Amino acid sequence: MKRLLLIAALMTAAVPAVGSAQRYPDYGRPAYGGRGDQDAARDAVRGGRQVPLSTVIANIAARTPGRQLNTTQGEAGGRPAYFVQWQTHDGRVIIFVVDAQSGQIISRQGG
């Protein structure tokens, strides 16, 4: 019995406290995402105020062969925008900033 109590005490001590968990650094990047943002984006696409992400990805793929790594949504120049992280076939990573209302590529960084 003492042995079980000792094991339980050691296991409890090994679990970090919730308040002491460290956050990942944001490196100065704005935080996007969250369930509300996804719902708002979906509503904007359904309402015709925003192009679907699938259209944006198809446009990027037609210009720059590769694959999508990640996408977030935010603002660029006061307008809604997609930020698409893209990897080319030779391993370069490019961040495409795409106007969410028109689907036009605003800028590309990296690569």
b vs e for 36-66, b when ≥16 Cβ sit within 10 Å of the residue's Cβ?
eeeeebeebbeeeebbebeebbebbeeebeb
Decide: residue 89, CB within 10 A, 0-12 exposed, 13-18 middle, 19+ buried.
exposed
Helices (H), 15-107: 35-46, 53-63
pLDDT on residue 70: 95
For residue 83, tell me if it sits in a domain.
Answer: yes
What's the rounded Cα separation, in Å, for the pair 93 and 55? Answer: 20
Q: What is the CATH number of the domain that holds 47?
A: 3.10.450.40
For residue 74, tell me if it sits in a domain.
Answer: yes
pTM (whole model) above 0.85:
no
For residue 2, tell me if it sits in a domain.
Answer: no
Range of the domain at 45: 35-111
For residue 102, tell me if it sits in a domain.
Answer: yes
* Pair of tokens at residue 64: 């720059």
- Residue-wise pLDDT tens digits, 46-94: 888 999 999 999 999 999 999 999 999 999 999 999 999 999 999 999 9
